[in-house]
Chain A
Amino acid sequence: MGSGNYLLRKFAFALLTIFVVVIINFVLFRILPGDPVRAVIGRNVKISAEVQQSLREQFGLDKPVFPDQFLMTIRQWASGNLGVSWSLRRPVAEILISKLWNTLLLIGLGQILSIFFGVLLGLLAGWKRKTALDAGALTFSLIAWATPTFWLGIILLAAGSTWLGLPTGGILSPQNVGKPLHTVLPDLAVHLILPTLTLTILYLGEYMLIMRSSIVETLGEDYILTAKAKGLNQWQILWRHALKNAMLPIVTIIALNLGFTVSGAIYIETVFSYDGLGKLFQTALTKQDYPLLQGAFLLLAVSVILANMLADILYTILDPRVKAS
């Protein structure tokens, strides 16, 4: 019963958070400087002042922000409709779904690889502390973590396309667009190599560093000494006693990062012309496309909050003390 109550409380709190985020976003986008109509049309001189006025009416911008625009948005969302994007002229939900798939594929793959290699490297480095392996892994991770995303992406793109003939951008080759997925998988894989590699290198450092310090700390605990005294071998100590405890901070980071996965990786998507959510966020902001902005940030808020809930639940499984408190 205690655990059920705990989850229920968490869930209610999550709902409240989403509601607050929605309201803050609604206000925040509208206090941005500039005129959304001008941002959407750019410097298209074919659109006169009168036409801009009629667009303003069509977008509902001629009405007061509160209560009219706010109620309109809430009413629309309540009926399950996220509205139509002003700049892309497509239903917001449809756009979000199509880009979500692209982003999950790229960022998800990059995250899995970097978690795997980062945790492994951190574990080895922490275990073999103060060896050449530790120093090497630490140096590599620090540099990888500090490398600017854009720079690394461009360097890999230049090298990969010049020497290995890897594609310079996009998700599929033009001649494969529109074909059934299973026939274009090899092409898709080739397009994913460089962005995934960039992403893996960039995230790997963070996981490695956290895992290393966590394992170092755990290995200094009294119960490890006890385990040693009991005569367990090194593998048993590492696997059964150290790893489980050392994983707690990593779980937090993974959960948080997975939540933000949905925000995409603006830089990587931009460098590799990969049409995902990160790039979409940027477009929505520069175009001041309120329906798209609101939809995108709702998706982001929901996924971050869900990921946090997931972390909380995992904690109750991994660490009995959480349940007790």
Chain B
Amino acid sequence: MYRTLLFGLLVLVLLTACTTSQPSTTETAPSTSPQAPAQPSTSQEPVTLRVGWPGFPDTLNPAYAFLTESYTMFDYIYSTLATESQSGEYVGLLAESWDVSDDGLVWTFKLRPNVRWHNGEPLTAEQVVWNLNAFIQNPDGWVTNSGYVAGFVEARVVDETTIEIETEYPISNMAYRVSFLYIVYPPDFEGFATPAELQNFTNFNAIGSGPFKLASLDKDQRIIILETNGDYFDGHAKIDRVIYQTFDNSDAMIQALKVGDIDLIGEVPDSAFAAVSAFENVKAISLPGRSITELIINSAPADHDPKPNRNPALEDPQVRLAIATAIDKQDLVDVVLQGNGTPGVTIIPPTLGGGFWFNSDIQDVKFDLDEANRILEEAGYVKGSDGVRAKGNVRLEMRLQYASDQPNYPRTAGMIANWLAQIGIKATPESVDPDSLVVATNPNADYDLVIWGWGADPDPDFMLSVMTSSQYVEGGWSDSGYSNPEYDRLYLEQQKAIEPEERQKIVWKMQEMVFNDRPYIVLWYGNILQAYRSDHFTGFIESLLGIDSFQSLMNVEPVR
């Protein structure tokens, strides 16, 4: 029946299209535009890379940006003093080099000469300092910058190509911090008197000094066109234009790549990756990224307000150990991610800082159901007639919730529930919308086990902060409720440890504490899955920054 229907529909499509549209492909659609000639081949045609993505920036004003799409655009349009390189280290961008005073309180940045704004005006040290001081003095206005300038006192011009930043205390991750401080064109921003005025400014005609210029942005059609900045201070891209087009549906986006309507997809869903890999003229890329997925165990302090609502057995370290022992992470990676990831160990992914921050000394618990059963048996949890273990009146029966917006969580929850059932723990999977899950975990502390994830920051600081007790307040980022005064103390200490080796030692210690106490059982580190048309373009740089990073797009060239 369905086959007949399908055939009928296809006939209908054919009829409709034959009668209505002869010039059907988008590229050759009749148009008066000189940019889209019907016959390609002239060397005048601009080389255009077309990118499909699932969203659209909420703003191009770095003062107040929520969505990741905005930050993608910032990297193309604006420059920063330093930036993360393909290997995870920090390299200069507007700054050639930097140095810190012996007391760790004054940073000196040597600026590159001859940098120009997109409108041709020179970018001066005064303007950079104007930016930094605006962020420092007006944190209520420059909301999304404010965290990165915490502890900054003042920025000063030393000479035409040198600036200084004075800080209140030593700051261990200065290069990382300035890599998120996008330098904007001051005349566009000087007129705002109140935080609200600044925040309501979307700057959709942005002027920056980055490798690509904004040519046009249409927020109703959701199309962004970037042009190569020929005056960029560090060479320039070999393509002329980049077009970003929004797709609301990932199947449609993948189809667009397949038929060549777009050349690049920055985020291929796990479930579609195998199919995309098999497309003709498409290269699919799977690279270690920075995201982690974890099983959260309710670790809120007993005196938390409101009182934690959870299975009390979860407070028992042996029960936590048994759960960790009963999860086959490799199997999760193979089945759920279809191999596109690695089993997780600590809260810091191995890619941060090129592996510098990841504690490689930690030996993960080995998957062993017999051993998990033995641990529970020894801890006094006895199997009842229904196969569920209990100790006194505490039965090992619990909720296993997961965020409903992630397509691979239901499968994950099913597999974990199945393993737990084999060790006498009855875990009931339940899909919960992310908004409710936020409130259930923090501040309500009303959950047992939750599967969720983080797209970790390039610096270890953020992932470490998630486990501090000061984040377990309404609006804070802690969801486990983990509270450990020693850990909190180390967190502050690593922020001020200017010597990288010294900071590394503390960061490793903190990972070990979280690993042993298990507020999180880190399930896996996910890969970045991307794909591009290999018959159209070549030269993409494959790194944890993604093949759509500005460094990569500057290296891309058309296939001749």
Contact = CB atoms under 8 A, between A and B. Distances in A.
B454 A43 contact: yes
Given A169-B245, A201-B9, A175 B31 contact: yes
A308 to B, nearest CB: 30
Contacts of B148: 46
Interface string A153-180: 0111111111111111111111111110
Interface stretch (A21-29, A209-217, A268-276): A268-276
B180 to A, nearest CB: 8
Interface string B11-32: 0111011001101111101111
Q: Which of A41, A272, A273 has the most CB of B within 10 A?
A: A273
Prevailing SS type, chain A contact patch = helix
B21 A193 contact: yes
B10 interface: yes
Nearest to B10: A159
A58 B243 contact: no
B248 A184 contact: no
A135 interface: no
A187 interface: yes
A156 B21 contact: no
B252 interface: yes
Contacts of B144: 44, 46-47
Nearest to A162: B259
A171 B221 contact: yes
A190 B22 CA distance: 10
Q: Which of A164, A165, A194 has the most CB of B within 10 A?
A: A165
A266 to B, nearest CB: 10
A157 B474 CA distance: 44
A249 interface: no
Given A159-B13, A197-B13, A166 B21 contact: yes
A102 B221 CA distance: 10
Q: Which of A88, A176, A178, A194 has the most CB of B within 10 A?
A: A176
A177 B218 contact: yes
Contacts of B436: 33-34
B67 A42 contact: yes
Contacts of A193: 16-17, 20-21
B146 interface: yes
Nearest to B50: A174
A45 interface: yes
Contacts of A178: 216, 218
Nearest to A48: B147
B477 A45 contact: yes
Given A58-B196, A155-B9, A177-B221, A165 B259 contact: yes
B1 interface: yes
A143 B16 contact: no
A281 to B, nearest CB: 13
A60 interface: no
Given A47-B143, A143-B5, A157 B255 contact: yes
B192 interface: no
A201 to B, nearest CB: 7
A169 B261 CA distance: 9
A177 B246 CA distance: 13
Given A140-B8, A165-B25, A170-B221, A42 B438 contact: no
Given A175-B36, A193-B16, A269-B248, 13 more contacts: A33-B436, A35-B439, A45-B457, A48-B147, A49-B474, A53-B475, A54-B143, A84-B200, A155-B6, A162-B258, A170-B221, A271-B251, A273-B222
25 contacts: A34-B435, A44-B67, A51-B143, A52-B475, A147-B5, A156-B13, A157-B252, A159-B9, A161-B256, A164-B21, A165-B25, A166-B17, A167-B26, A168-B252, A168-B259, A169-B247, A169-B248, A174-B245, A177-B216, A177-B218, A178-B216, A178-B218, A190-B29, A193-B17, A275-B222
Question: Which 7 A-B pairs have CB atoms at the shortest separation, nearest pair first?
Answer: A34-B435, A49-B475, A168-B256, A165-B25, A52-B475, A33-B436, A173-B26
